[in-house]
Amino acid sequence: MKPSRIIPLLQVILLALYAAGTVHGWLEPLELFNLLMMTACLVTTARAWRHPDESLVAGGILVLIGAHLFVGQRIAPDTLTGGAILLASLLTLYVGIQINRHLPRGYWWAFVTGYFVLYALFILHLNNAEPLFILFLMAMTACARSARLLAYYWAAVVSFTFLQPYAWPAVIILFFAISAVTGARSSVPSRLLPVFLAAGLALFAFVLLPVLLMLTGEDLHSLETVWRDPRIRAAIGRTAATATVSTAVLTLFGVPLAYAISRLRFPGRTLLLSLADLPIVIPQSVAGIALLRVFGRRQIIGGWLADTLGLPVDGTLLGIGIAQVFVAFPFLLRSAVAAFDTVDEELELTARSLGASPWNTFRRIALPLGARGIFLGIVLAWARAAGEFGAVVFIAPTPETAPVAAFNRFNSAGMIETAPLVSLLLLFSLVMFFLLQLTTRLLPTGAAQPRRRP
Amino acid sequence: MNVLRTFMDRLSAWLESASANIKLVDQALSGMQGSYVELLTLLALGLLAVIPIIVPERHRQFYRRLNQCFGILIFIFVVYTCLGVFGMIRNFHRGLMEIGRENIIALYFCSVPLTVLVTSMIFGPTFCGWICPTGALQEFIAIPLKRWHRARRKAGWPCTPAVLTLTGLVTLVFLGWMAYLSVTRVFFVEDASVYWSEVLVILLFVLAFRMARWDKALRRLRWVSFAIIAAGAVAGWRITSPVHFTFSKVYDPASVLSTIMVVLGAILVPQIWCRYLCPWRETIAWAGRHSVRRLETRHDTCTQCGQCDSVCGVEAVHHGTVDPHECHLCLKCVDTCPTKAIRLVDQWKVEP
């Protein structure tokens, strides 16, 4: 039997039920809502009579309205709640029918399963969340037409219900992962690559989660309170100042050294390049103790510096600077050498042959062309110097730098108290990070620019 | 100065008395016993969003105006939680964070933004064209100036003495009000909507001279606006939106100022707030790009008469093609098209 034939039958049954309900007294026949519903039924039937192709939707509407009139009305606490549920149900019905008609079967099953999952989640699992069920059901109908949107939707639902205190970090990470995996295109057709990507991103989430959590966890007020603390302010200022000075010293000596290493061939060059990585390999506490062994007040060099020159190293800004230079050195040297390596030597030869002095060749050719890599090295070295904790805490526990201050505060006041400071420091690091990203895009490179595709 | 001050005082007192007890269902909210009021919101907004589908095509623009009037009424009398365009973003954030803890409060804060987003994703961005009270206010203000706007648009938004005078007058209103505010009260973060009106004034000056050239670029300001409000929501700022004071009980001179700036701006440039500054427009545009319902042009029947271009209030139509990112789905272009080349289509399949 065609569905269009059932519609009048349904309408007749509804009218009969309406009459019966009136007679038996379990339905107010003249209440506005009920009258509205019956009118809507009649309009639907009339429309279905003229457009037989819409009869499936019409039949669904009739059944739903009937169910709400005779069952839902008695369950729902009031007419409004009933009306809202009816609206959501009608929307679900409409979208469900359209999905069934226009989209592959998988979407339909995802839609139906989604309905029951939402039901289990909001009505059975959470307390007092029936209205939220309506809301999220509507949201699901909006996203149900596209696998990608649906993935975003479920990621959001899971984050905001189960991962509640960490909801925003979770949403950010999950959305990033979904957009990466669903948007991945490769030249080699492969189903394996997106799986690899997803697996790697799952690990990456562990890196991102703490950072995002600290960033989104604090409000402006607590950040301001921390910023007002003179001790913290002094520590941050001290960190910025020492890191800047040590980076400047590093740049002054490191960039020429990098140029020399890049251009000269000499015995022990490879050894020198390898040794430059030593500070990365050495544990930071070991580095701190080793530095103390040399520059400590009771040691030969440290004692001589303190007594003869009046420059004590341990427990002073000088000590902080030395520790920072020590740990940041490889970052600058590595990037600068790599940057000078990309600069074409022919250009410098040409410049020399046309009469430029060695200094001018360096200043006008090598330096500008290697600028991007050098600046990257400078920013990295600055970040490393500012963030150094292990070496600094051994050679100069006071005056405290920002990482040391965070550590001391954590030891004395605990995690909750330290959180605003940590998010403040994270903000500073993020600013550095963006600066880095920006400069690496803005500065020129020595390598030939890849020609843009038309 | 003194005259200005007394005038302003009287005006704000009048506003206060005029909008006292404007929420009729105040009692229902007081205990927030159930989710009664918010479900009504949901119902009302949902119905308003469905109306564009079912109204007859013959007098569609009339029904649209009617719908907008209903929208204003509903936002005044029913919707509690919409604290304007800015508050909606902030509330959405707050509501989402309450899920699992206080579900009723979560519903209270999420219902308006989610309903708007959902209806925009299914039925197209009809909220902007058919419901939004801010948009309606701007449109109603500009009705008597329709011809002037069209002529100006046709001429490529030239910088005429009339425009300059009007811009100057608007600036004077702004500066006067600011002077009044600065002597009468201390500023809070809430009053930051003043910055938006400030930007509006600057925008007006830019638009007076360079509208044709900079229009497209300036629309990116909506992103900036959205980013600021979203960041503010996470950081816990409260910023009062323009056209907010009528929709909740905030009789704030700063908010009134931003409202008046929006209205005055809309006199000079149609829908200026929607075009350049509305942060919520950006999310609706996103939802609208993913919506089922969209406008399609049949280029074989299009005669390039340009009527749809000239009738669009937000300049979303270019040579018969509708830009879904800017479209408010007011359907004026559909109704004016003499060859019926633009039509509404439902597309359930999503192109990959």
Question: Would you give per-residue pLDDT tens digits along chain B (352 residues)?
Answer: 678 778 777 877 776 666 554 433 333 333 334 455 667 777 778 878 888 877 888 889 999 999 999 888 887 777 766 677 888 888 888 888 888 888 878 888 888 888 889 989 988 888 999 988 889 999 999 999 988 998 888 888 888 898 899 999 999 988 888 888 877 766 666 677 788 888 888 888 888 888 888 888 899 999 999 999 888 888 777 777 776 655 555 566 777 788 888 889 999 999 999 999 999 999 999 998 888 888 889 989 988 888 888 888 888 998 888 998 899 998 999 999 999 899 888 888 876 5
B122 in reach of chain A (CB within 8 A) = yes
**In the predicted structure, residue A135 carries a pLDDT above the cut 80:** yes
A139–chain B nearest CA distance, Å: 6
Token duo for residue B117? 């987003």
How many Cβ pairs closer than 8 A exist between chain A and B?
A: 106
Domain segments of chain B as ranges: 21-138, 141-285, 292-346
Q: Which candidate from B35, B100, B115 shows the least CB-CB separation from A164?
A: B100
Minimum CA–CA partner of A131 in chain B: B107
Digit-coded pLDDT (tens) for A223-261: 888 888 888 889 988 998 999 999 999 999 999 999 999
Residues 6+ apart with CB under 8 A from A120: none
Closest chain A C-alpha to B204 CA, distance in angstroms: 32
Question: For strand B293-297 and strand B321-322, is the pairing parallel, antiparallel, or unpaired?
Answer: unpaired
Cα–Cα distance measured from residue A33 to residue A86, given in angstroms and rounded to the nearest whole number: 12
DSSP assignment string, B216-253: HHHTTHHHHHHHHHHHHHHHT---PPTT-TTTTT---H
Q: Cα separation of A308 and A319, whole Å?
A: 17
Q: List chain A residues with CB under 8 Å of B89.
A: none
Q: In the predicted model, is pLDDT for residue A79 greater than 80?
A: no
List pLDDT tens digits, range A380-428: 899 889 888 988 888 888 888 888 888 888 898 888 888 888 888 888 8
Rounded mean pLDDT of A149-154?
93
Going by their DSSP bridges, the two strands B321-322 and B317-318 should be labelled as antiparallel
Q: What residues of chain A lie within 8 A of the CB of B99, using their CB?
A: 126, 129, 132, 160-161, 164
Q: How far apart are CA A153 and CA A132, in angstroms?
A: 14
**One-letter amino acid identity for B146?**
K
For residue B74, list chain A residues with Cβ-Cβ distance below 8 A: none
| Encoded tokens for A425 | 């420091």
Token couple for A429? 């690091």
pLDDT tens digits, A165-185: 788 888 888 999 898 888 888
Mutate to test the interface with A, among B33, B41, B43 (most CBs of A within 10 A): B43
CATH code for the structural domain at B292-346: 3.30.70.20
| Chain A CB contacts of B287 below 8 Å | 142
What confidence score (pLDDT) does residue B140 get?
A: 92
- CB-nearest to A77 from B34, B110, B235 is B34
Do residue B348 and residue A99 have CB atoms under 8 angstroms apart? yes
For A84, the closest of B39, B97, B100 (CB atoms) is B39
Task: Give the pLDDT confidence score for residue A328 in this predicted structure.
Answer: 92
- Residue B195: the pLDDT is 84
Flag whether residue B20 sits within 8 Å of chain A, measured between CB atoms: no
Out of B42, B104, B122, closest to residue A141 by CB = B122
Asked whether the beta carbons of residue A146 and residue B350 sit closer than 8 angstroms, the reply is yes
Residues A348-387: b if buried by 16+ CB within 10 A, e if exposed: beebeeeebeeeebbeebbbebbbbbbbbbbbbbbbbbbb
For residue A452, pLDDT beyond 60: no
Q: Is A235 exposed, middle or buried (0-12, 13-18, 19+ CB in 10 A)?
A: buried
Chain B residues touching residue A54 (CB < 8 angstroms): none
Give residues with Cβ within 8 angstroms of B218, minimum separation 6.
B203, B206, B207, B275, B276
Instruction: Return the residue of B nearest to A156 by Cα.
Output: B96
What was the pLDDT predicted at A74?
Answer: 64
Q: Kindly report, residue by residue over A23-53, the tens digit of the pLDDT.
A: 777 777 777 777 878 888 888 888 788 777 7
Burial class of residue B104, CB neighbours in 10 A (0-12, 13-18, 19+): middle
Residue by residue, DSSP assigns A94-146 as: HHHHHHHHHS-HHHHHHHHHHHHHHIIIIIIISTT-HHHHHHHHHHHHHHTT-
- Which SS3 state, helix, strand or coil, does residue A282 take? coil
The pTM (predicted TM-score) of the whole model is 0.78
Under an 8 Å CB criterion, which residues of A touch B? 77-78, 80-81, 83-84, 87, 91, 95, 98-99, 101-103, 126-129, 131-132, 134-135, 138-139, 141-143, 145-146, 149, 160-162, 164, 167-168, 216, 219-221
pLDDT value, residue A77: 62
Q: For residue B63, what are the contacts with CB-CB under 8 A and spacing of at least 6?
A: B51, B55, B56
Give yes or no for residue A153 having a pLDDT over 90: yes
CB contact under 8 A, A139 and B117: yes
Residue A292 pLDDT exceeds 70: yes
Interface test with A, best of B33, B37, B39, B41 (most A CBs within 10 A): B39
Name the closest residue on chain B to residue A78, using Cα atoms: B36
For residue A156, the model assigns a pLDDT of 93
Structure-block tokens of residue B235:
């950081």
Q: Average pLDDT in the A330-346 region? A: 90
Beta bridge partners of residue B295, listed in sequence order: B344
Smallest CA-to-CA distance from B242 within B264, B271, B262, B266 is with: B262
Chain A residues whose CB is inside 8 A of the B101 CB are 164
Structure ipTM over 0.85, yes or no = no
pLDDT at B248: 54
Residue B103 to residue A129, Cβ atoms within 8 A: yes
CB contact under 8 A, B121 and A143: yes
